[in-house]
Each structure stands twice: as C-alpha cells, then as structure tokens.
Structure 1
Amino acid sequence: MIKKHRIFGLLVLLMLMLLVCDLRLGWIQWRAEQYGGKNLIARSVMQRQQRLVLDEGRAHFVDRHGIPLTGKRQQGLAIFPAMIHSPEHVASFLSPIVRQSASSIQQQLEAEQEPFLWPASPFRRDTLALTETQIQSLDAAAMPGMEVVSYTQRYISPYLASHLIGRMAQYPERIDKRYTLELEQGRLTRNSQIGVSGLELQWNEEMIGVGSHALVHYQDGQQRPLAGLGSRMVGAAHELYPLRVMLTLDSALQYKLEQTMDDYMKRHQLEVGAAVLLDVQHGEVRAMVSRPMLDPYAAFPDKTAMTNYAVKALVPGSIFKTVIAAYALEHGLLHPKEQFECRGHYGKYGLMCWKKEGHGKITAQEAFAQSCNVAFARIAERIQAEELQAWSEHLGLLTPYGMLPEEEKGRIFLSPVSSGQIDGGELAQAAIGQRNVRISPLQAANWIVTLLNEGKVMKPRAVTSVQFRNETVKRKIEKVKLADSGLSAKTTRILTRWMTAVVEQGTGKSLRHADWALAGKSGTAELGTNGEQGSHEWFIGYGPVPRPRYALAVVVRDEQSNLTHHGTALFGQLFNALAAYDQPDAGRP
C-alpha cells in the first residue's frame, strides 16, 4: 500500500513539474518580451532571414540653396547569394547585362555570403546604377537570388567638394567602442558605415539616423523562401528624419571652380593643389577644392588623393610677407615711405633675393609689390621671435578652427620661442615664409578676411544649421569671432593698397587683365624636404576691388619650376569664373 502511494505521489509531482514548464514556456511565448536580454521570437526570425540595407537613414548634406550634395535614389541590383544555386549560370546571364566578365561575376558570387548590391566595378565601392534596358532584362528573367531595388546612393557624381564632405567606411571596432547606445537602440549595426574623414567624420554623431530601410528575404532551413513571407521592406518612414546638414557651399560655384581648376592643372600637367574661397562678409566657405580629387568610392585611394591640401599646413613663401608687413606697420617698426637697398643678397645667412641683380633702391611699398627678400629680411631684424609668434597666433594662423578633423596647425618656428634656439637666420627666413613656417590655404584665406573686416578674426564655417526633414531647425551654428587682432584702420588701408600695387605694378601684374579688379600677394616656396621637389606657388587676395566680396587662397605644387607662376595664373582664372558666375544671366540658383 505504501509503495502504491509513493508511485502515485511521484506521478503527481511529475505532472506538476510538466505543468509548470508548460506554463512557463507559454508565458514566454505570449509575452514575447526580452528574455535573458534577447527577444526569442525576433532571434528565431533573424535566423531565417537575409537582410540588405538600402538606406542607412543617415543625414544628408545640402548646399546653401538646399541643393543635395549627398543622397540620390537610384535603381540597383540586389544579390542574395544563399538563394543562388548555380553561380555559373547566373554569371553567364549577368555578364552582357552588367558588362563584366562571366568569370569575375562567378568569382564574386561564390565569394560573397551576405546580401549585397552589385558594384559599378570590381575596384569600386559604389553600386551599379541600372538603366531602363538593364532593368527590363533582369525583370523578365525573374531569377531567384536577384532583385531590382531602389536604394540611396550616398555620393553624387561628380563628387563636389569631396575632401570637405569626406567619406564613409565600415569600422565595426570603432562602432563597438564609441556607439554602444546607438547599437542598443538599433540606430546602427556593426556593419553600418560611419564617417572616417571630412564633415562626415566631424558631424558623425549628429548624422546618425533613427533606423535604416532594408530589404529582407525570409527562408526555411533549406534556404527556400518561406510561404506567405517571401521578401519585404522593413523600416518605416519617419516624419522628422533623415536630417539635413545645411552647408555654406554654393554647389554651382563649387562646380565651376573645380572645373576651372581641373582644366588648368591638366593643361599644365600639375597634380597637387588647393583653393579656398571665403565670403568676406560672413567668413563662410563658398568653395573648397583639393587636388588630386578624392573619389569617395575608390576601393584603394592613395595617400595623396586622401590628403586635403586646403587644410594642410604648407610652406607659404612670400605670402607670409603680408603678416610681417602688418606687424611692422602696426607697431611703428616700418614707415610706409621708408627705402631699402637691395643688391640681390642679404649679406648673411646665405639669404638671396629672387632677383639676382637686386632691386636697387626700393620703397617699402615697392618692396612688397616686387616681393623683395632683402628688404623683408631687414624688417625682420626689428621683430622679436616671441612677438612674431604671438602675432601669428593672434591672427588665427597657427590654430585649427575645428571645422574639419584634418586641419593642421600652422607654425612659425620649429623650436619653442622660449627655448632661445631661434637665431637671426631662422627669423630672416621666417620673414620670407621659408624654412620652418607653415600655414594652410584655409588659414591664409581667413587672414585676408581678417584684413578686410577691420582686424576681426572670424572662425570660418562650412555648416550653418542642422535641420529636420520638414526643414525646421534642430541646431543652428552661429558665427563666431575668435579675436580682435588689433589691426588699425590705418594699417589695413596701407596693406590693402600695397596688395593692389602687387597687381598694378608688381609680381601679380598678369592679373591686370582679369574680369574683375583684383588685389593680393604672390608667394613661391622652394621645396626640398620629405622627398618633394620644385615649389609651392601661392597667390592670396580678394576681389572685386574696391568692394571686396570674396577672399581666395590658391596653391599648386609645380615640380618643374618653370617661368609661369601657376598660383597667380590660377588665381586669375578662378576669379574670372567667379565673375562669369556673378552675371545676372549665369543661371545660378
């Protein structure tokens, strides 16, 4: 009897345990909530789907007129490798459509495991934009594993201001480290692309969207489409996203200047150069060009193409004489009518004038207009190294503005001025912008803006606001004054008059025939370090005179060092393009 009771008790206990487990499983299934930190239903579905992101939901850049610089809807070919059972057959079919060899297509189909958009070529990261004829051929075939889809192409050919805008790439490690919250919220995945240069990197946190749009294929264990599910788009449209980042650029003007610069550099076989155009009134970037061009979709861009020379600190040559002259005039160390004697050499430190026979007797204005090295070396004798360092810092020439992550610091001397290691030779070389002096084209252009704005040092900006999708402002970027340089109206009048003399009778007289009256200063920086040959040829200035609207800094690397000063010539051509753009019938927005 006791034995029967024990068996009955064990059966009851077993039934109770089964009931508890059944209730527990039912509760988990009914709630479908986070269990053990994961949604079990979602996890089971994820194991049976292939997901292809067609739009990251990332904010887009627009120019000052609202014209998109990123984000273009196009038709592309989505490939789901797991659903393709005969890569050889598909490759043979695709070859004449995408105009690529069947062997390379088959190789890629066999190498890929995750869904992808068919690339424009094996050496690029952008997607092939399908034509109507290609779409018709693909739709008619209706082959498993291939589907024509609408996707967002991030960068729009001809990739205007590519260095300024920057590029994106996949960095799972960086996402894991810096974007844990965005990962938890589903705003990013480990395979999402993030900004790695330019404004894409500078504004990356602001630009991350609220979620992506993706094409999802649901499959069973044998990778066959699930009945009733097939493929579908996931990710709902949001009223306020994606955001828009409003730039100060004028895209039509940017295009015109890039085209002009490319034509000139190709004609004269130049490869490296930059131009920065700032609006004088607001200190805003209207155009920024760096060459060689950065192709944001190049699979393996070289180091030179990756370098933004518009913000790289370079040897400035004689354009730095504008800084020396400003200090000497402002502090009573130079009289505008003072005369100098130039015999072609300074007499010490091995410093020579570019004019071997010398300029003879020359006034301060003539020394500036003719870019006399001897006269400016003598002026430098009157300036202490500490004073020149502090002056350059005060003008905003040595500190990055924080506009781009690639901005480089400027410098005057290699050693700290407090070290006592700066001798007369280094100071004399600094006076003509050689040896250890470095500034960027952006800093040089902003110095011209400072000069034309009564000595106010403005922080140049490329972004004015971040807007919601409905164009209401989420964040406004105000103009910032960095400092008052202390330049008097008298000094700025003298210096701008001297810059006009450069064009009228000095080293920039080839600009007298430009469409606008121009003023500025030329510079030739001899190279010889880091394997560089030739010279950096600069021209910085403004126009039109007498009511300046634009400040422009131009530099090109001339490895031949021929008789043509390409910095001056290109400066004139770019301003002619500006003048043509400014005509009432130019068709600008």
Structure 2
Amino acid sequence: MQLERRLKRRHFLVLLGMTLVWIGLIARLWWIQLGAPHRFTKRGIDLVKNAVKQRQQSIMLHSGRGDIRDRNGYAFTGEEHRALILFPLARGSLEGTDGMARVAEVVSQPKERLAEIMEKAKAPLFLRKDDGRLVVLTERQAEQINALAIPGIVALAVTERYRQEEVAKHVIGFINQNPDLVQSLYPDEWESGKMNADSMIGASGLERSFDRFLQGVEPSILSYYVDGQGKPLRGLDIRYSKQDNEYYPLSLTTTLDVSIQRSMERIADEVGLKQGSIVVLDAQTGDVRSMVSRPIYDQTKVDLTTDYWKNRAAKQLPPGSIFKTVVAAAALAEGVVLPTDRFTCTGEYGKYHFSCWKKEGHGSVTMEEAYAQSCNIAFAQIANRVGGEKLEEYARRLGLSEQVGHVTSHLFKLDGFKQVDGEERGAIFSQGVSRQDEGVLIQTAIGQRDVRVTPLQAANMVVSILRGGQPLQVRLVHEINYRNGQAFYQFPMQTLPVQGIDYVTANKLRKMMRKVVTDGTGLALSGAPWEVAGKTGTAQTGGDNQSLNHLWFIGYAPFDQPRYAICVVAENQQSWGKNQATEMFRRAVDELADQTTQSSQPHAGNSPE
C-alpha cells in the first residue's frame, strides 16, 4: 500500500514536470510569435523582418533625418534627384525578355553594363556612374522607365544623405548602425521598439552632437516582394512607405559659409596638405565660417580603423611659438616686462641644452622684436619673470585650457549640451609637474614639452584679443529649425566662463602681431591684399622622427578693421622646404579679400558655387 502511494506520487511528479516543460515551450513559442516578434533578444532582432528577408528587399529613398545647412540655407546634406532603382530579386522575371535592353535605351547606358550590375548585385541599388556618382534621370526618363512596368525596376526621387563632392565632411560627420550606442542613448525608444539594431544614428560631427534633434521621422523605404518562385507578388510587388510631417524632421542652420568652406578646402588640397586643418572664425562673433580637416574621408564608406574621419581642428597638438602670445600677454598684463625692455640672445641659453632657432642668436632685442623674430632665448627669460603659475593662469584666461565650443547649460532635458563633437581641452603642464622647475618653464614658454592646444582654441584666442580680451564660446550652429523654416531654438552668443585679459594688453598684442608680418617671421605675408597680423609657430612632434614638425600660423585680417581670425596647421612637415602653414594662410587671406570685394559690388551674386 505504501509502495503504491510512492509510485503514484512519482508518476504525478513526472507528469507535472512534463506539463510544466510543455507550458514553458508553449509560452516561449507564444512570446516569439506573438508577444515579441519585433523585439527578440537583447540585440533587438526583428524576427518578422528577418523571416521575410529572403523574399523581400528594401532600399532607403530618404533617411528621415533633418538637413544640415550653411548660414545662407545651402544644404550640406539631402540633395534630391530622380534615380533608377534596381532590385536583384527581379532577375528571374527578366530572363528571356528584352526588359533590360529597353531600360538601357532610356537611360543611355550599355545594356551589357546594366545586365552585369543586376547579375552581381546582392542588394537593391541605385544606378551609378563608374566614379560612384548617381546617374541622374530627367523627369521624362523617369516617366518612360515607370511606363515600361518592368518588375523590380523603377525610377523615383531619391535623397542621398551625403554627396562625394561635398565639403565640410568632418564638421557634418556621418551616421551608421551601432546597436549598443542606440540602446545607451535612447533607452526609452529601444524599449518601445521605435529604435532597434537597424536604426541609423549620428557617429561623429554635427550628426552625433545633434542626433536627437536630427532623428526626426521614420525613413522613406521602397520595398519589393516576390513569392517562393521569385515572381512578383500581385498587388504587393512594390510598396513605398513615406512620412509626411509639416514640422519634422528638424534641421540645423550652421554658422558655416559654404563659399568660404569650398575655398579653404581647395586651398588645402592645392597646397598639398596631407594632415592638418584650417579654421576661419568671424572676428566679431567667434562663429565658425570654415573648418577644414585633412586627410579627407568618404562619409558613405567610413574606415573606422583609421582616424581620417576625426576633425583635426578640435584635436590638441604642441603649438610651438604661437604660445609666446600667452607668455607676452602674462608679462604685459602683470607689468613684469614692457614692450621696449631689452634681452640678449646669443643663440644659447647656457643650460638644459636649450637654444634659439637662430644659431648665431638675435643679439640685443626688445620684447616686441623678440616676439616678431620668435626668439626662444628672450622668451625663456621673460617666462622666468612671469612664473609657471601665471603662464597657466593666462593660458586659461585666453581659453587655451577650456573646451571653447558652444555649450548650452540646459536644452530640452540635455544638460551641458555641446555643439562641437570630440573637442579636446588643451593643456599647459602635465599633472604633478613643478611650475617652478626652470627647465620645464622655458620649454613651456616656447609651446613645447606638455603644452597642447587645438587649432579651434588658437583661432578663438585671436578673436579674444580682437574683442578686447574676453574669450567667447565658438558657435558652430546658430539655429535649429522646424521643417517649415520656423525657428525651433536659437543659440545666443556666449562668453567663456573665464576672466579674460584687459583691453590695453590685448591692444598691445595686436600691434605685436602686426610687427611679425612687417618685420619678423611672417614677412612673406607682407604683400597680401589685406594688411594682416599674426604669429608663426613650429613645434617638434615628439615622435621618433625628429625632423618632422607641426607648422602653425595664427592671425587676422584686415589689420585695421578685422573681419576674420584664422588658424592654419600643417602637421608632420619636414624641417626643410616651403612652409605650408604660411602658404595656406596667405592664400586664405587672398581668397577672403577677393570674396569680400565681390560681395560688396553692386548686384554681386551670392551663389555658393
């Protein structure tokens, strides 16, 4: 009797266990098929979408993101054209027909080329030229293509996010798929299913810093469906999902001027700049008019194993002798040196193996002359009078220790919203280094050792001097706009949260920068169409190759009524040969003067071309 009860109990437990397993399996199947078919696993895999991939292909006709424009409305992103769209799934339907030949005739392309493209394609594509550019169709051609009613071949308006020939690529940045980043930045959207592993988000530049505003609406997608035999599904072969909203997506109005941007990029390429940057700021507002970075990269095929896509204008480098501007500011403001005080340069400091670039020395020079001639020995002596703490203080006052890009304290639940993506801070002394160490101090005085400055900071320092000593925050975006053009949010001009320098000191620095061009190391710029002022800089790279230098030139023009503050940097240059930095600065001033003259003429055109 007792044995029988035990057997019944065991049988009951076995049945219960099997029942629970079946319930678990049924619940799992229900969850997969009905409960979460669009959001399965932590990676956001869409089972429904994956299930139909073998019989459906889709191509994006518009990303749904807002455009990024220059200050006058020119769009760096989102140019619409009519294009020929080919779906490889339609290959079976084309066999034994003259459909491809008829299409080739309309678009003036060899039928063999179209057939080869269709045969090799694994995913839907737009017809492109050999150089990668879109084959743009006329309205008449598009009508003829669609009238043929060939399965899987259609002509529609396409908006490509990026153009190969476009400028400001480092400023604009790029978008890509990054599920981990999507989940981190948009947890609510991830949980609700509005965003998933296939979502495109900003990865660099303005695309990243303003991603939440540019996201806008769902992308416009064209899909093509076939049955199990590869034949078009009747009534469902082509589907087009398009979003239409009066207010979204939002767009950005930047402070960039596309005409200036094109000119500066052309200058960089003509001079042969391999690595470096050009920054042009408005002398009164500190707004970015142009920001160039080299090497160039392709926004549609970004190689993340390189750093070509990074904006070098926002990356720190040893500044060399342009840092003597900070030393001069500290000395003048603190009253430890007068512009007419004299120093003796024999070419050698006498210790620390510290020497002047001019081996025979500059002899007896005033502070003004030492700045113009970029005398290392004189500035080592001046730095000793100033002291390390004051050097660090005045570097901070001139914005060289801060991120200078525009920051909004609170913008729609975003605290400390920064416009400039990837901007580095800059540094004067490494942590733990003594400010009283003379060897450290004199190397710091000439912009070497631990000193690091970004080209954007350097250009902004020039603006600070021109404005009487108070640094501004640099704006890259002036306004966020609704789709209908109305303002969504405007970014005001803002000063950096630092004390700045006094007006008298700033005025003395302006005169000293002019002397660099009239009587010093910038003499090659004396023939420019505008009178210019500035400071040269040569910094050792600190790498294995001691013959390589970073060449700098910072300055402004015109001298009497400044319009632009400019910083150019040619990185990793040989110590011999033509100075690329000075050459680019000269050409930049020539171009800016020419554009200003043209724009001031009656009835002058304002075309960005």
* TM bin (shorter chain): 0.7 to 0.9
Pairing partner for 1:410 from 426, 450, 458: 426
Which segment drifts farther, 346-355 or 392-401? Answer: 392-401
> Secondary structure of the equivalent of 2:161?
strand
Within a 5 Å distance, the mapping from 1:560-579 to structure 2 comes to 560-579=574-593
Within a 5 Å distance, the mapping from 1:228-239 to structure 2 comes to 228-239=235-246
5+ long unaligned stretches in structure 1: 1-33
Pairing partner for 2:507 from 473, 485, 493: 493
CA 1:317–1:45: 2 relative to 1, 3 Å: closer
2:84 counterpart residue number: 77
Aligned pair 1:97/2:97, yes or no?
Answer: no
Aligned pair 1:587/2:605, yes or no?
Answer: yes
Aligned pair 1:291/2:294, yes or no?
Answer: yes
2:315 counterpart residue number: 312
Distance 1:540 1:396 in 2: 15
Aligned pair 1:211/2:218, yes or no?
Answer: yes
Pairing partner for 1:353 from 353, 356, 360: 356
Report how far residue 221 of structure 1 moved. Answer: 4.5
Distance 2:109 2:342 in 1: 75
Within a 5 Å distance, the mapping from 1:89-238 to structure 2 comes to 97=109, 105=117, 108-109=120-121, 112=122, 115-117=124-126, 128-131=134-137, 143-182=150-189, 188-238=195-245
Distance 1:320 1:531 in 2: 23
Pairing partner for 1:253 from 217, 236, 260: 260
Within a 5 Å distance, the mapping from 1:176-575 to structure 2 comes to 176-182=183-189, 188-265=195-272, 270-298=273-301, 300=303, 303-400=306-403, 401=405, 402-417=418-433, 420=434, 423-529=437-543, 533-557=547-571, 559-575=573-589
Say whether the 8 Å CA contact 1:188–1:211 is kept in structure 2: no
> Secondary structure of the equivalent of 2:505?
helix
Q: Which letter maps to 1:192?
A: S
CA 1:299–1:203: 2 relative to 1, 3 Å: closer
Distance 2:362 2:96 in 1: 78
Say whether the 8 Å CA contact 2:84–2:153 is kept in structure 1: yes
Size of the alignment, in residue pairs? Answer: 542
> Secondary structure of the equivalent of 2:343?
strand
CA 1:273–1:552: 2 relative to 1, 3 Å: same
Report how far residue 71 of structure 1 moved. Answer: 0.5
Which segment drifts farther, 472-481 or 296-305? Answer: 296-305
Q: Which letter maps to 1:237?
A: D
Q: Which letter maps to 1:514?
A: A
Distance 1:532 1:192 in 2: 46
Cα shift readout 1:103-157 (whole Å, capped 9, x = no counterpart): 9746742xx3x54445666xx9x77334559869966875433322321111234
Q: Which letter maps to 1:153?
A: E
CA 1:99–1:371: 2 relative to 1, 3 Å: farther
Distance 1:394 1:264 in 2: 34
Say whether the 8 Å CA contact 1:456–1:483 is kept in structure 2: no
Distance 2:563 2:427 in 1: 28
Q: Which letter maps to 1:490?
A: V
Say whether the 8 Å CA contact 1:165–1:198 is kept in structure 2: yes
Q: Which letter maps to 1:128?
A: L
Report how far residue 333 of structure 1 moved. Answer: 1.6
Cα shift readout 1:254-275 (whole Å, capped 9, x = no counterpart): 112211222122xxxx412211
1:60 counterpart residue number: 67
Report how far residue 92 of structure 1 moved. Answer: 9.1
Cα shift readout 1:169-225 (whole Å, capped 9, x = no counterpart): 222333244334445667545323221111111111111012221213344444433
Which segment drifts farther, 564-573 or 326-335? Answer: 564-573
5+ long unaligned stretches in structure 2: 1-32, 39-46, 406-417
Cα shift readout 1:296-324 (whole Å, capped 9, x = no counterpart): 12353772522322111111111000011
CA 1:202–1:84: 2 relative to 1, 3 Å: same
Say whether the 8 Å CA contact 1:294–1:301 is kept in structure 2: no
CA 1:236–1:168: 2 relative to 1, 3 Å: closer
Cα shift readout 1:441-486 (whole Å, capped 9, x = no counterpart): 1000000111111221111010011100111111221222113534
Say whether the 8 Å CA contact 1:291–1:309 is kept in structure 2: yes
Q: Which letter maps to 2:605?
A: G
Say whether the 8 Å CA contact 1:316–1:433 is kept in structure 2: yes
Distance 1:162 1:246 in 2: 16
Q: Which letter maps to 1:316?
A: P
Q: Which letter maps to 2:134?
A: L
1:25 counterpart residue number: none
Distance 1:473 1:35 in 2: 43
Which segment drifts farther, 83-92 or 185-194? Answer: 83-92
CA 1:422–1:104: 2 relative to 1, 3 Å: farther
Distance 2:529 2:508 in 1: 24
Cα shift readout 1:264-296 (whole Å, capped 9, x = no counterpart): 22xxxx412211011111110000111122221
Distance 2:438 2:111 in 1: 66
> Secondary structure of the equivalent of 1:151?
strand
> Secondary structure of the equivalent of 2:290?
strand
Give aligned-pair identity as a percent. Answer: 38
Report how far residue 78 of structure 1 moved. Answer: 2.6
Distance 1:415 1:360 in 2: 36
Say whether the 8 Å CA contact 2:340–2:366 is kept in structure 1: yes
Distance 2:574 2:204 in 1: 31
Distance 1:215 1:107 in 2: 20
Q: Which letter maps to 2:506?
A: T
Say whether the 8 Å CA contact 1:339–1:363 is kept in structure 2: yes
Say whether the 8 Å CA contact 2:435–2:441 is kept in structure 1: no
Report how far residue 252 of structure 1 moved. Answer: 1.1
Q: Which letter maps to 1:471?
A: G
Q: Which letter maps to 2:556?
A: Y
Q: Which letter maps to 1:234?
A: S
Report how far residue 168 of structure 1 moved. Answer: 1.6
Distance 1:51 1:175 in 2: 22
1:10 counterpart residue number: none
Q: Which letter maps to 1:360?
A: G
CA 1:72–1:212: 2 relative to 1, 3 Å: same
Q: Which letter maps to 2:360?
A: E
Say whether the 8 Å CA contact 2:83–2:137 is kept in structure 1: no
Report how far residue 228 of structure 1 moved. Answer: 3.1
Distance 1:180 1:463 in 2: 27
